[in-house]
Structure 1
Amino acid sequence: MNQQSHIDLFAGKRILVVEDEYFIADEVRQKLDHLQAVVVGPASSVEEGLVLIEQEKIDAAILDVHLGDEFVFPVAEKLDQLDIPFVFATGYDPAFISEEFSGFAFCEKPTELEKIAKALFASSTSSDWH
């Protein structure tokens, strides 16, 4: 599957975006809207992210690791418990990723949606989404 067909898999998916930098969050939202995804959020804090997970249907998530003075790991833990795929998107060194999440996809900012689509949808579980 080429990158274009991976990125096409965003269409119709409900994507949680957890990002505390307004302009980055808005750029990701616009790109996902263009790909016909439904953006859940964006949430700018762990608390907002957890509330959205409880209140909304979510197919996948894009998580900034560092949100102000907190890390996004409680949101990642909740998504993992619910078997919702996610990627970390951050400008920080991957060494900041908690050991328990070392097997999860990591994408550097600026957010590359092609790479994220491949990480989210190219796994064996992606067949459930076709």
Structure 2
Amino acid sequence: MTRPDHHEPSPLQLLKGKRILIVEDEYFVADETRRALQAVGAKVIGPAPSVEIGMSMIDQETIDAAVLDIRLEGETVFPIAERLHALAIPFVFATAYITTDIPEKFGGYHLCEKPTALAEIATALFTPKPLGH
């Protein structure tokens, strides 16, 4: 007999205690993402509204994962994606621009539509990927 309170853990539990960098230039989207992550127990780094600020946060902070908006004010987030990739820090792209061309080398990273679905992001960031993907 199983206990009635026994159930599969929520993907949101994967975010608890994780240090998540947010790179987003739209204040309200960044703030909504920050509040949602904090509500599930994540520690938010940022939000960073530009590549320059995001890069300095990567250099100054310990980061477990990142949520990146592809298009920032007049630039793309790909330099940050490059740095995170080199450091083996998982990240997802969260963007309203579904047609945005993501460089092929980042093809394995999950693309989420805005508004970001937190459980989907948690799964993409912290669930082991099959080898070769």
Measure the CA separation in 1 of the matches of 2:100 and 2:72. Answer: 16
Equivalent pairs counted in the alignment come to: 124
Tell me by how many angstroms 1:5 deviates.
Answer: 2.1
AA matched with 2:19: R
SS at match of 2:97: coil
In the alignment, what sits opposite 1:33? Answer: 38
SS at match of 2:124: helix
> Of the candidates 5, 14, 23, which is equivalent to residue 10 of structure 2?
5
Contact 1:94 1:106 in 2 (8 A): no
Contact 1:79 1:85 in 2 (8 A): yes
Measure the CA separation in 2 of the matches of 1:110 and 1:37. Answer: 18
In the alignment, what sits opposite 2:118? Answer: 113
Unaligned runs of 5+ in 2: 1-6
Contact 1:29 1:39 in 2 (8 A): yes
What pairs with 1:1-130 in structure 2 (closer than 5 Å)? 5-124=10-129
User: TM-score when scaled to structure 2?
Assistant: 0.87
Tell me by how many angstroms 1:124 deviates.
Answer: 4.6
SS at match of 1:96: coil
Unaligned runs of 5+ in 1: 126-130
Percent of aligned positions that are identical: 55
Aligned CA RMSD, in angstroms, stands at 1.7
Regions of 4+ moved over 3 Å? none
Contact 1:87 1:105 in 2 (8 A): yes
Contact 1:7 1:114 in 2 (8 A): yes
* Structure with more of its chain in helix, by fraction: 1
Measure the CA separation in 1 of the matches of 2:85 and 2:55. Answer: 12
